[in-house]
Amino acid sequence: MYAHRTSDSQPLLHSALVVTASEGHARVDRLSLKNARIPFSRAVPGARSALEHLRKHGADVIFIDDVLCDGTGWNFMRTLKADPRFSSIPVVMIGRSVSRERVLEAIGLGCVGYMLRPYTLDTFFKHLGLARKVGACLRSELGNVAACSALIEEGQAEEAVEVLEKALEAPDEARHHYERGLHLLEREEYSQAVAAFTTAARLSELMYEAHLGLARCWQALGDEVRYRKAMTRAADICARTKRFEHYKKEFVSILQNDRSGFNPFLSLGMRLAREMDWDGAVMALSNALRLDPDSAKAHLELAKAYHFKREPALAAKAVTQALRLDAHEEEAQDLYQRWTGKAWGEREVVRVLEDKPSGPIIPDAIPTMLNAVLYVAGVVTEGLHKMRRNYAA
């Protein structure tokens, strides 16, 4: 049953830790790791012994059972992610029952996957492959950045600046991959979502380390202004990464509590707006409109977010679109009047029709329209003549 296999000709994982209260599960998991040619593996029964092992020996990947001798695997996972020493180690959760909510909880906690017992070798290698990717994602990109530390120590800060600025030339696409991960989660494509979040984390970490390295360079070169600028940028990226993690947890919570048939990005945007995170709200609501461009509610919420971001032109544009989709929305009418100084009514409707013609004008209708216009003009002219005659008399 267990033929020697590996999912990578050059494995990047060398040690593994299995945490389970079951000796039988520990034997199966370690045999699977042996087939994956992971040189070193250890099994422990609970969270306390696992933490002791990690402090002494570390691990490249951790497999956690849902039942431990001193608690649950879920609580142990939360402990790991709260400890900066172990939070970056890829973790695979293993349970005896599977549900959409459990898979979402695992991803929300930062696991690279969730397996159901009994699993097949194909399933095991699939999740081990994800762990390899997470473990290796920063190594190649951060190699040159890390090497700059040595250059700075050797007094070659100018050479280090050149390397770091080159690393920062690539566009910062972390947000793009993060948003893609949310869309994949919404479509229940969990493995691809993990890969997208991993890429986002890799890019954020690379940008953070590069700006931090630049700060050290400018400090060594005595350029206080550039030093402060680089430090500020590094802090901004660090804060953004933390916000992304918060958004992911909120999104997972929404998906767990609500069923299909709704727009989870709209719910996320409204949650973030309540927290007064206007940048996050704009991001989420813009994605909500990608899913449902005709949602008057999403346009209205986006208008309010833009308003609080002090972007009046975008706020007016969004509330106008909300009213085009639902002219009877009272809150949108009130905001439109407050922001533009005009009531949403006939003039606005005429302008909307001009902007979005419903179709070509039928040629046969033109004479009728002209007759109507001439008739109205004749009535007005006759009324003016009568008024003048009466006044003269």
The pLDDT tens digits of the residues spanning 216-232 come to 888 888 889 989 999 99
Q: Which residue has the higher pLDDT, 380 or 113?
A: 113
Res 50: pLDDT: 97
* Buried b or exposed e, range 279-311, using 16+ CB within 10 angstroms: ebbbbbbebbbeeeeebbbbbbbbbbbbbeeeb
How many Å apart are CA 109 and CA 13, to the nearest integer? 22
- Whether 356 has a pLDDT exceeding 70, the answer reads no
CA 363, CA 253: separation in Å to the nearest integer?
A: 57
Beta bridge partners of 91: 62
Q: In this prediction, what percent of the chain has a pLDDT beyond 90? A: 47
Q: In whole numbers, what is the pLDDT of the chain averaged over residues? A: 81
Could you tell me the pLDDT band of residue 149, with boundaries at 50, 70 and 90?
A: low
- Least reliable range by pLDDT among 274-283, 306-315, 328-337, 351-360: 351-360
In this prediction, residue 145 has a pLDDT band, given cuts at 50, 70 and 90, of low
Within the chain, all domains assigned CATH 3.40.50.2300 are found at 15-136
Higher pLDDT, 281 or 163: 281
Predicted confidence band of residue 2 (pLDDT cuts 50, 70, 90)? very low
The dihedrals phi and psi of 321, each to the nearest 5 degrees, come to: -65, -35
CA–CA distance, 90 with 56 (Å, rounded to integer): 18
What is the model's pLDDT at position 19? 97
149 contacts: CB under 8 Å, gap ≥ 6: 213, 216
Cis ω for the linkage preceding 118 (within 30 of 0): yes
Estimate to the nearest angstrom the gap between the alpha carbon of 52 and the chain centroid. Answer: 34
pLDDT at 161: 76
For the cut 80, the answer to whether the pLDDT of residue 81 exceeds it is yes
Task: Tell me what the mean pLDDT of segment 184-202 comes to.
Answer: 86
The residue with greater pLDDT, 191 or 153, is 191
pLDDT at 168 (0 to 100): 72
Mean pLDDT of 155-183: 79
What is the DSSP-derived secondary structure letter of residue 83?
Answer: S
Bigger pLDDT: 119 vs 216: 119
Using the predicted structure, report yes or no on whether residue 389 has a pLDDT greater than 60.
Answer: no
Q: Average pLDDT of 176-196?
A: 89
Question: Looking at the domain that runs over 264-355, which CATH code has it been given?
Answer: 1.25.40.10
CA–CA distance, 386 with 389 (Å, rounded to integer): 5
Question: For residue 162, what pLDDT band results from cuts at 50, 70 and 90?
Answer: confident
Percent share of the chain, pLDDT over 70: 78
**CA 248 centroid distance within chain:** 6
Using the predicted structure, report yes or no on whether residue 253 has a pLDDT greater than 50.
yes
Average pLDDT score over residue span 121-141: 76
Residue 114 near residue 106, CB atoms below 8 Å: yes
For the residues 27-39, what does the mean pLDDT come to?
94
118 closest CA partner among 102, 97, 132, 101: 97
What local confidence, expressed as pLDDT, does residue 63 receive?
Answer: 97
At residue 264, does pLDDT exceed 60? Answer: yes
3-state SS of 186-241? HCCCHHHHHHHHHHHHHHHHHHHHHHHHHHHHHHHCCCHHHHHHHHHHHHHHHHHH
pTM of the model: 0.70
| Contact call for residues 319 and 303 (beta carbons, < 8 A) | yes
Question: Which of the 8 DSSP states describes residue 330?
Answer: H
Q: What pLDDT, on the 0 to 100 scale, is given for residue 144?
A: 58
Give start-end residues of each CATH 1.25.40.10 domain in the chain: 264-355
pLDDT at 369 over 60: no
Distance of CA 360 to CAs 13, 190, 221, 346, 363, Å? 66, 47, 68, 21, 9
Q: Per-residue confidence at 306, pLDDT binned at 50, 70, 90?
A: very high
Q: Is 242 exposed, middle or buried (0-12, 13-18, 19+ CB in 10 A)?
A: exposed
15-136 fold: Rossmann fold (3.40.50)
Distance of alpha carbon 111 from alpha carbon 104, whole angstroms: 10
SS3 72: strand
